[in-house]
Amino acid sequence: MIKYALACEHSHEFEGWFGTSADFDDQAAHGLLECPVCASKAVRKQIMAPAVAGTKAQASGAGLPPEARQMMMEAIGKVRAHVEETFDYVGDAFAREARDIHEGRSEERGIYGEASPAEVKALVEDGVPVAALPPAPPKKTDLN
């Protein structure tokens, strides 16, 4: 996979992942690329420095324009709120319950809870569909 820094005609910056460098050209030629901020299809690659082993990765969202970061954080918050409002919380029984639902031993429904990295790895290897819940937004009292 290749990660490109991209920008639209309105200078909104974002990134895209492609299987090969030719995939970007093909998708751009067919109008399949779109800016996530303004939906412009005039997307171009930006000049990038290659990744160098041993450097620290930027924190999630760092380098994004403030409006894009805010939009991303709001979307993540909405996903988390939807899960908390509509799914069943099963606590540390998540791995067992997810497997039981997948194998038809428990009622089909959305669940969320806690699982160890080893439990998640085993679920994924066995084809049980799981995804990490976005983190809760920081409390205003915890911010500077």
Helices (H), the chain: 21-29, 66-86, 94-102, 117-125
- Residue 71's Cα: distance from chain center in Å? 13
- 100-141: per-residue pLDDT in tens? 999 999 999 999 999 988 999 999 999 999 888 877 766 666
pLDDT digits (tens, 9 = 90+) for 3-50: 888 999 998 988 888 888 788 888 888 888 998 888 899 999 987 766
Residue 2 corresponds to which tokens in the numbers above? 């290749």
